[in-house]
Every structure is written in structure tokens, then in C-alpha cells.
Chains A and B, each alone.
Chain A
Amino acid sequence: MNYRKLTLRSLTKHAVMLALSLFAVFPFYWMIISSFRTEAEMYSSALWPKHWTWDNYADVWRMIPMLDMLGNSTAMSVAQTFFQLGTAILAAYAFSRWTFPGSRVLFLMFALTWLIPFQVTMIPNYVTISAWGWRNTLQGLIAPNLVSAFAIISMTQSFKAFPKGITEAALLDGASSWSILWRMYVPNMKASIASLGILLFINSWNEYFWPLLLTNKLENTVIQIGLQMFMSSDGNAWGPLMAAAVITSVPILAVYLMLQRQIVDSFVKMGLK
């Protein structure tokens, strides 16, 4: 009786989860099949196109410098994620291990900068970057986003959960603060670092207005602006737009799959210890 009840419950549970995941996956599916539809079939509601075509992908290739844009997006996102993670690890370590004079105020100030919208800092940043002559350059795109307040805050929260006893034992054994960070904190925090990394990467990848402001040529800009080239006030070129969107989402998926492995691995290791 109990057994049957359980199956029924888990069955409904699975049915709900299945429905929800279908619901989540459907837009993605629609994007992919739309990218293979011919123009005539673009507005058809059929789940499976009658005629498949690669034309939309060829159009994307012809109309925008896709490789350059992908390259720029990748370089920008990798660099931003790398630096944001690096600075967040250092700052979070300091905030979580020591209470120094003004540490609370300092942390509060970090938290407050997170609340300031981009539109407020946009013009001052633009003026500075222009004065340095960094318009139309990769370093100009990356520089204002080397540090992320959000990353520091969330990393601090995870670091605070690290057992103090282990840190103290290491200190007694003569380990320096530096080596405690890199040999104990970071390896054990892999999961949270990886998940934060995914978030930061997606954030950088989706950045739109700053690159738009800073770059003058399609060759120098990022893929998100490339997508805009298929939209206009007089209607959108849906086929190529969907094809470009598919290409654009591939790296995000790749990063996710890569880091997800990392997360799972670190869980497994933690279980073994």
C-alpha cells in the first residue's frame, strides 16, 4: 500500500517535472527549428518544418562578421570572468577571515555599489575610457568590469561558511594566509566558484550597451550587437536572427556543461572525504 502510494506520488512528481522541463526547453527548441525554416514557413505553427534549409546560417555568415564578434565576445567574457573571480576570491577571503577596522563599512560600501545601476556610471566610465584612448579596443570593453560587487558579496557568503576550525589547525601547522587561501579555501570551494563563474560568464556574454557605446565597427564589437542587426523598426529578419541566436548560445551551453561537470566532481570528492 505504502509502496504503491509512493510510486503514485513520484509518478505525479515526475510528470510535473517533465512538463516543467518541456516548458523550459520549448523556446530553445523553437529557436533551433526556426533557424532551419524557410522564409515562407517562418510563421507556420507546425512543430516540424517541411523544408529544412541552411540559408539562414549562410545569411548570418554573409551579413555580419560572425567570427570576429564571437572572438571578441569570448575574449571579453573570459577576461571579465577571470578577473572578477580573482578579485572576488581575494576580497571575500579578507572579508570572511578578518574583522579589521572599517571592514563592515567597507563591505557595506561594496554592497551599495552593486545597487547603482549601470546607467549612472555609464557616462563617467565612458569619459574615462575615451580619455585613455581605449575606445574600439578590447581592454576598453573589459576594464570597467574587472571587479564585480555581486561576485564579492556572494563569494564572501560562501567563504564565511568555511569551518573556522580547519583554518586554525592549518595556522598552527605554520601555513601562511596565502597558502591557506589557495590550498584549502579554493579547492574546497570549487563548486561555489564554478557556479559563480557560470553566472559571471553569462552576464559578460550578454553585455550589450557598454560594447555598443564603445565600439564603432562590427568587427570590433560583440555578438549581442550582431544580433541587433537582424532587427529593425520595419520588422525582423527572423530566420537569420534565430540562426545567429543559436550560434550565440552555443558557447554559453559549452561553458555550462564544462563547469557543471566541475560542480558534480567536487560534490563527489566531498562525499569521498
Chain B
Amino acid sequence: MFRQKITSGVLVTFILALILTACGTSGSNNAPATNAGQGSAANSSQGNTGETDKEIVISFYSYILGNSKGGQGAQKLIDEFEAAHPNIRIEGVPVPVADLLGRVQADVATGTPPDVAQLGFGWMDLIANGFGAVPLESLVTQEEWNANFEGFSPKGMELGKYDGHTYGLPFTFSTPVLFYNADLFRQAGLSPDQPPVTWDEVKEAALQINKVTGAEGVHFSGLTPTTGDWIVQSLIGSNSGKIISEDRKTLQFDSPEAIEAISMWRGLVDSGAHDKLNDNEAMEGMIQGKLGMFVMTSAIQGSLLKGAEGTGWELRSAEMPAFAGKPTTPMNSGSALFILSQDPEKQQAAWEFLKFVTSKRGYSIITSEIGYLPLRPEILNEEEYLKDWAAEHPLIEPNIRQLDRLTPAEAFPGANFSQIATILMNAVQTSVLSNADVAETLHAAQAEAQKLMP
């Protein structure tokens, strides 16, 4: 423990020194940013005089801000950052997630993009090429970069990369996990201490739950287009399939692996193990204790927990189920932070903000108060961060174990990325919930979507 404190102390000093030298060398433009590192004491004692107090305002679009879920946590991130950086003010702008892309597009069109925006990974192509996002490596020296991201999930970092540059800094983040109702398991004569690991076991358990208790067995989310294609990609990836070729030119919706994965899902439905609900209905069924197992992003954990307490059943979680003999490839849902400002001074200030929210302190707030994964997993073992919290919240464990196998969800290239994802989601829905032939449906979707590729 003591040693750990010393190392982190040394690390902090090192980072601080790097910030100071980095800013010092990058010219007079950055003078205000330089002072940020020296702490608030000097600033407050000087009062509001002179160049050093020039305030930089950073606009920050976020769909968590203002929201009844996690909004207060997001505000806390801003408040703590501002307290530590008196000359940077963060103007938080709450934008509902469904309208986020439209709003940023409008602002880019007027030439006034937000300085920092919280956006989804699937929009990467548009963000990098259309919105003019800043490659984050260009803002700092290599040493500072390395020092800052020590202890950061390397798989997580990969997600923000596009064409070899890091445009997005992973921010709020979750992976698909298997939530299950321990009470239904017991009633069906299953052991809640040994949740199913493979899809075959899931099917068996689901059928038993359905037979004995009358509740629905299992629901794998991804049957509602708005859920997003990351979870469908997780399933296909876990069967060693890929949704797009290595050179990112050809879609592979109808690869044998994809067809096999979707057919397995359809088999669950045909056998009666899987319900025929859409994702929202399944979620409500789960909350009411009428569904045995539910595979969905861990971000819904808070809602499920509240529901479980309300209706009186025990919620547990396990890793995403696997195809026998193959490792799962859990993919992320969530968002990254992008710097869209074109003003060098603001870019530096924005970088300071990004660094803070993804610091150990930042992730402590994100995990415990907003409900997403800590991408600096070591904070779960550190007394001053989340050690106690983690002990009280065992549901987070499967998620953390999956982090090592985390695989980036593919963002479809070109301007039609959104339609391509919609075609995939619709084809999956048809394949799983109707009598249509799975292979034929996916062939047709492949042919249709391939035409939309750049």
C-alpha cells in the first residue's frame, strides 16, 4: 500500500512537471493553460487582475448532463475540474442522446462546433472526417501521452482510434453481460452460483425456467434497432465472425460465422427458450421478475437493481455467454470525448478537461455515480478510490473480467454508416423473430448494404 502511494506520488509529480514543460515550450499562446498546473492558491490570492486570469470557456455537449440518470455525477466532474482549474470554465450543454448528432451537425454547419463533445463510437468516420475532430496525439508530447495513459485499459484506448490516430478518448463505457434472476434460478432448481457459461447451457437453463416457473427464459438484446449494432457485433464476433473485411471495403453480414451465430439465436426463439419481445419490453419484463436471463449493456444495472428491489427478487450478473470452445468478444456500448475546437488555446484547455475526467478520480465518479466501467481498473483495489465501493457492488465483476477481451465494435465507413447499421439490425430482427430463412435474409441484407459502402 505504502509503496503504491509513493509511486502514485512520483507519477503525479512527473505528470505535473511534464504539463509545465510541455506548455512552456509551446509558445505564448498557452500562457493561461500553464498556470492551471500551478494550482488554485496562487490564483485566488492574486485576485482578478492581469493576463493570467483570462478565462477560457469550453463548451461541452453531453447526453449525461442534466439527465436524471447520472446527470449529477457528470456535473460533479465539471465542478471538481473547475475547482482545480480556476481559469477554465466548462459550459456544460445537455443534449438528449437521440438528437446529439443532429445538434453537432448543425453547429458544425454554422462554424461553431462545440469545443468538447461526448459522442458514440459508431459515428467515428463522420466525427473524424466531417466534424474535424482533433487527433489527440497532436496536442501533447509522446512522454506526456505515455505517462497519462499508464494504467488505462489498452483495449479501451484502441476504441478511440481511427486511421491510426486517437480521436476519441473513451469516457463512459460498458460491455454486454448476462443479468439473471437468482430467485427464478432457485425456483427452477438451478444453482444461481453457477450461471450458464455457454449458449447451450443458457438454452437448457432457459427452458427449465420456462417449464418450471412459467417465466420467460432468456432475452438477448439487439432486437430493437435503437439498441445499436454493437451487441449484435458482439455475438457474431464471439463466433469468430467479422462484420467487415480487414481492408474495410467489404461487409460480411452473411459470412458462415455470422449466419451460424444468428441461427443459434433464432434456435433459442424457436425452442421457446427465448421470448419474442422487443428489447424494451424484455427490460420491463426483467424488472418485474418475469424473465430469467437478460443479456444487455451493464449500463442498465442501476435500473435493474432498483426494479429488483421494488419487485423483490435478487439480481446477479455473469459474463456474456460463449459459443462452446470460443472466447467471447464483448464489445462496448458507450461514448468517447472528442475535441472539436479549432482554437489551439481552447484545445489545450479541453485536453486538460479530458485528462481530468479520465483520471483515477474522474473514473471513480464515473463508476460510482454515473454507472459506467472504470477504464483504470486498478482504482477498484485502491483505498482512496473505489476499494470499499467495489466490495459493496459485486455486480461489476464480470464486466471487469471481460475488459481484457474487449474488442472494438466496427464503425461502418462512409456517409451511409447509419443506414448500413439499420439494415443489419432489421435483418437480424427478421432472422430471429420471423419464419424467414436466416441465411437468405442475411444474404439480402449484405447485398443491400454493400451498395451503400463508399
Contact = CB atoms under 8 A, between A and B. Distances in A.
Interface of A: 38-43, 59, 63-64, 122-123, 126-127, 130, 209, 212-213, 216-218, 225, 228-235, 237, 240
Interface residues of B, number: 37
Nearest to B283: A235
Interface in B223-252: 226
Given A228-B96, A231-B96, A216 B59 contact: yes
A213 B100 CA distance: 10
B93 A229 contact: no
Contacts of B68: 59, 63, 229-230, 232, 237, 240
Contact of A209 (B59, B99, B303, B309): B99
Nearest to B114: A216
Interface in B294-328: 297, 299-300, 302-303, 306-307, 309-311
B297 A43 contact: no
B96 A213 contact: no
Majority secondary structure, B binding face: helix
B94 interface: yes
Given A126-B109, A229-B66, A233-B97, A212 B71 contact: no
B287 A43 contact: yes
B226 to A, nearest CB: 8
Contacts of B69: 232, 234-235, 237
A123 B109 contact: yes
B110 A126 contact: yes
Contacts of B79: none
Interface of B: 59, 63, 66-71, 91, 93-97, 99, 102-103, 106, 109-110, 112, 226, 283-284, 287-288, 297, 299-300, 302-303, 306-307, 309-311, 371
A43 B71 contact: no
A176 to B, nearest CB: 46
Nearest to B95: A212
Contacts of B59: 216
Contacts of A64: 66
B110 A218 contact: no
Given A59-B68, A127-B109, A213-B103, A43 B288 contact: yes
A229 B306 CA distance: 19
A123 B103 CA distance: 10
Contacts of A59: 68
Contacts of B310: 38-42
Q: Give 9 closest A-B pairs by Cβ, nearest first.
A: A40-B310, A228-B96, A235-B303, A216-B93, A237-B68, A234-B299, A234-B300, A230-B68, A43-B288
A240 B109 CA distance: 35
